[in-house]
Chains A and B, each alone.
Chain A
Amino acid sequence: MARVGVFVCFCGANIADYVDVPQVVEEVKKIREVKYAVEYKYMCSDPGQQMIRDAIVNNRLTSVVVAACSPRMHEKTFRKALSDAGMNPYLLEVANIREHSSWVHQKDKKAATEKAMDLCRMAVAKSIANEQLFEISVPVTKRALVIGGGIAGIQAALDIADARIPVVLVEKSPSIGGKMAQLDETFPTLDCSQCILTPKMVDVASHPFIELIPYSEVLELQGFVGNYKAKIRKKASYVNFKTCTGCGACWQKCPVKVPNEYNMGLDKRRAIYTPFPQAVPNKPVIDAEHCTMLQKGKCGICAKVCQPGAIDYTMQDEVIEREIGAVVVATGYDLWDPKPYEEYGVGRFKDIITSLEFERMVSANGPTNGVPVRPSDGKVPKNVVFIKCIGSRDEAKGIEYCSKICCMYTTKHTILLHHKVHDSHSYVFYMDIRAAGKGYEEFVHKAQVDTHATYLRGRVSKIYKKGDKLMVRGEDAQIGQVVEVEADLVVLATAVTSPHDNPELARLLGISYDKHGFLSEAHPKLRPVETAKAGIFLAGCTQAPKDIPETVAQASACAAKVCGLFAGDTLKKDPMISTVNTEFCSGCQNCVNVCPYGAIVTDEVPFGHGSKEMRTVAKINEGVCQGCGSCVAICRSMAINLAGFTDPQIINEIVSI
């Protein structure tokens, strides 16, 4: 018969003031299975834990109930005490008589005491049905997959690889670098983006522990923490990277001109191209959509001029598999399309551009060699209006969140404009200036002083054309008047949105995303880089808008998490997961259907003892199961149970109140 020990904590005065603890002890002593019950001032203290250990040994206890604070607080502490006394730690139950009784019924000691007794009784009843559970060990493949080769992916990959853990870095486009490679200078220090990024890109390419797979995407991720198997599609580049020397003869001769994505379409690239001069790997790919050879079978110039003969028009997409143990998702962000702002004339007026277009223009390697010009006539603008919160904080037309970085980069743009066009003048329409960050407020302040930019607090209501100028009408809320600014160029600070393919990616990875498409972290405060799925981590803007320092910090945090995960040869896992009693499983596979983690697979067992005929049953993949219990509640045959929360345990609680 069960022999339960009950340990009731005073928690100093926290419990004892509102619950008559000795009375609780007297009451639980009446329960048949309770062989030992005692109260103590602080059960979680060393002497308190010692009492538990002694009692386990002296009274040959089969399970232990600690009536104290929330199990979310000290369950682990007491489990350890059980372990130390040679008892299986999962034979512990915690009765939460502090958060659930003494603290919330401070005016009624009698009721609080009675409730505490009931809670103890429930815990005792549950503990009787507790079973010994053992931590699950899962072998680990010590290789990480990083999805996305922007600054987040680069940083995570480098940090992991520096710990001598192999990394597979998958990048969608032909080169790593991401959005940061498009930036000219970075706030608040105005250091050159390329200068600080490209060395890291080169490091990635040359790192012995990093396998860089550019121009590719993840197709499928199967398995579970420590044991994932990823299918990666390498898109056909039509260039053999092994033989290509990156000389550039091909793209110089290519006759097809295509808008250049890297420069936001402000100039042209060829059909065979490297995205930008510092690209890593610095090998060209053929844009099959625009290549006349691949489309019509005519041309073939690049193959002719390529001395190493690296061009291969017959190349096909290739699917490769990698076994990995953890995933870092760093897919970055998209920019919001400002089309809904029709009253601004977006799309109609050529001289309205987005911030990233402006960024490319002022960049030394940009389409205009670092000089901002009006797209309409190529003239250098004198009066430039910057409008912030385009899409951000606008529930009606855009999204309700703040994109976080626009205040700062717009400030940077006023400085860059001032540097490039000395006689220019910036006007900034803003709602608030959000400059929380190290050196940010100072940066904004300095910019305002240095550039003499005019900051107008208010929304722009309309932009219309007057001659070759754009008239920007808006409200200056500070003086409470409508103002009109004559602008040569209007720059829209468009919002940061989640990558459009995030939902699809989330589905294939089996993780969740929020209503804006940003991937969801496991806990907003305490687990900001983990996802709910073990072994998958988030870095950078794919989780929420953030600036470069934050992105890099999160990427390094991911790396730390991955390294931590890979620290041992096996992973230890909480054993509170589902188990299938195959004898009763009828093989309907509804559990397979309901499991959010794909942790249930099917198995074949003989029909009866010694039978050759097989039937299908469910099987839990211990490594994947997170112990939610969805499968348990939908199992009509009662063939699945969730260790730690079995039907008998819960029913025992219900009937013992």
Chain B
Amino acid sequence: MEATTDQLVSIEKPAITAPPDWEPVIIGILCNWCSYAGSDLTGTSRLQYPPNIRIIRVPCSSRVDPWFLVKSLQTTADGVLVSGCHPGDCHYISGNYYARRRFLVTKNLLNFLGFHEDRVQFSWVSAAEGPKFAKVVAKVTEDVKKLGPLHLYKKENFSK
């Protein structure tokens, strides 16, 4: 089947077909107060989601320096999810607003440089949104799985 123009436009280089048993690694950077608590709620509610995500806890989405995303994509991750409190709900009053600006620019820049836009995704997940967290992780995992392994600008000693 031939790819449509739209697909062509968004196919990453190099388009490598993943080995059959390949599973993507997603790094999830979650704020402690909303999204991490939400992910805990997903656990306590026993809601199942794909096991590809590795969660890193930070106090607030505003703690997330864009170079964490770059570093993740360059080393171990095939995709990154950053999640924080909904606008207005920030435990630290305004952190997520600053973060939101940085994320938009970072996401656009990475896409400009050749990363598919689904490699870096963001979500607002509140402490009450356990089901949403499960959905978000499922979506990110599926998106990244479709894209295949990430090879752009990987560190040389990357192997897994």
Contact = CB atoms under 8 A, between A and B. Distances in A.
A73 B44 CA distance: 12
Given A99-B39, A657-B77, 4 more contacts: A115-B54, A119-B55, A630-B94, A655-B76
A103 B56 contact: no
A99 B40 contact: yes
Nearest to A594: B98
B65 to A, nearest CB: 4
B93 A657 contact: no
Nearest to B49: A104
A70 interface: yes
Interface string B54-71: 111111101111001001
B51 A654 contact: no
B120 to A, nearest CB: 14
Interface stretch (A80-88, A252-260, A332-340, A621-629): A621-629
Contacts of B43: 70, 98-100, 103-104
Contact of A629 (B37, B42, B47, B59): B59
Interface stretch (A106-114, A396-404, A543-551, A561-569): A106-114
A169 B148 CA distance: 64
A628 B39 contact: no
A654 B27 CA distance: 8
Contacts of A647: 65
A22 interface: no
Contact of B92 (A101, A115, A596): A596
Contacts of A119: 54-55
Residue picked from A72, A73, A633, A647, most chain B C-beta under 10 Å: A633
A115 B55 CA distance: 10
B51 A108 contact: yes
A633 B64 contact: yes
A656 B42 CA distance: 25
Interface string A617-657: 00000000011111011100000001001010011011111
B92 A106 contact: no
A651 B155 CA distance: 14
B81 to A, nearest CB: 13
A348 interface: no
B91 A630 contact: no
Given A515-B88, A654-B68, A628 B60 contact: yes
23 contacts: A72-B32, A72-B36, A72-B37, A99-B43, A100-B43, A100-B55, A104-B49, A119-B55, A532-B93, A576-B59, A628-B63, A628-B92, A629-B59, A630-B95, A633-B65, A634-B98, A645-B63, A653-B56, A654-B56, A654-B76, A654-B77, A656-B76, A657-B54
Interface string B93-115: 11100110010000000000000
A182 interface: no
Given A104-B46, A650-B58, A654-B72, A633 B63 contact: yes
A511 B92 CA distance: 9
Interface of A: 70-73, 96, 98-101, 103-108, 111-112, 114-115, 118-119, 122, 511-512, 514-515, 522, 532, 576, 594, 596-597, 626-630, 632-634, 642, 645, 647, 650-651, 653-657
Contact of B63 (A105, A106, A596, A630): A630
Given A532-B93, A654-B76, A657-B54, A627 B59 contact: yes
Contacts of B32: 72
A657 B65 contact: no
Contacts of A96: 40, 55
Nearest to A103: B43
Contacts of A651: 68, 71
A651 B62 CA distance: 16
A654 B48 contact: no
Contacts of A111: 23, 51
Contacts of A629: 58-60, 62-63, 95
A314 B59 CA distance: 54
Contacts of A597: 92-93
A596 B102 contact: no
Contact of B51 (A115, A522, A532, A634): A115
Contacts of B76: 654-657
A320 to B, nearest CB: 29
A73 B91 CA distance: 19
A122 to B, nearest CB: 7
A515 B98 CA distance: 19
A111 B141 CA distance: 14
A105 B92 CA distance: 32
B63 A122 contact: no
B77 A100 contact: no
A514 to B, nearest CB: 7
Nearest to A98: B43
Contact of A514 (B59, B77, B88): B88
Contacts of A98: 43
B2 to A, nearest CB: 34
Contacts of A626: 92
Which of A73, A651, A653 has its CB near the most chain B CB atoms (within 10 A)?
Answer: A653
Contacts of A71: 57
Interface string B2-45: 00000000000000000000010101000010001101101110
Contact of B46 (A72, A103, A114): A103
Contacts of A106: 46, 48
The list of the 9 closest CB pairs from A to B, nearest first, reads A99-B43, A629-B63, A628-B92, A111-B51, A630-B62, A596-B93, A103-B43, A657-B76, A628-B60
Nearest to A99: B43
B75 interface: yes
A99 B41 CA distance: 8
Given A634-B98, A654-B75, A101 B51 contact: yes
Given A651-B71, A657-B25, A100 B63 contact: no
